Amino acid sequence: MKIRYFDHAATTAVSEEVLNAMLPYFRKNYGNPSSMYEIARISKKAINEARAKVAHSINASPKEIYFTSCGSESDNLAIKGIAYANKEKGNHIITSKIEHNAVLNTCQRLEKQGYEITYLDVDEKGFVRLDELEDAIKDNTILITIMFANNEVGTIEPIEQISKIAKKHNIIFHTDAVQAIGNVRIDVKELDIDALSMSAHKFYGPKGVGALYVKSGINFQRIQDGGHQEMDKRAGTENVAEIVGMGKAIESVYRNFDERCNYLKDIRDYYINRVEREIPYAKLNGDRIKRLPGNANFSFKGLTGERILFNLDLNGICASAGSACATGSLLPSHVLSAMGITEELANSTLRTTFGEENTKEDIDFLVDCLKNIK
CB contact at 8 A, 352 and 180: no
Specify whether the CB–CB gap between 347 and 255 falls below 8 A.
Answer: no
What is the Cβ-side half-sphere exposure of residue 83, based on CA atoms within 13 angstroms? 25
Cα–Cα distance measured from residue 87 to residue 209, given in angstroms and rounded to the nearest whole number: 29
Pairing state of beta strands 65-68 and 210-214?
A: antiparallel
Amino acid letter for position 104: L
Separation between Cα atoms, residue 34 and residue 29, nearest integer Å: 13
CA distance 55 to 57: 5
Amino acid identity for residue 154 in this structure = G
Contact 158, 122 (CB under 8 A): no
Cα angle: 25, vertex 30, 31; to 5 degrees: 130
AA letter at 275:
V
Give 122's DSSP letter.
B
The span from the CA of 33 to the CA of 28, in Å, is 14
Ramachandran region, residue 5 (left: φ > 0; alpha: ψ -120 to 50; beta: rest): beta
Q: Is 325 a catalytic residue?
A: yes
Active-site option among 70, 107, 261, 325: 325
Tell me the catalytic residues: 325
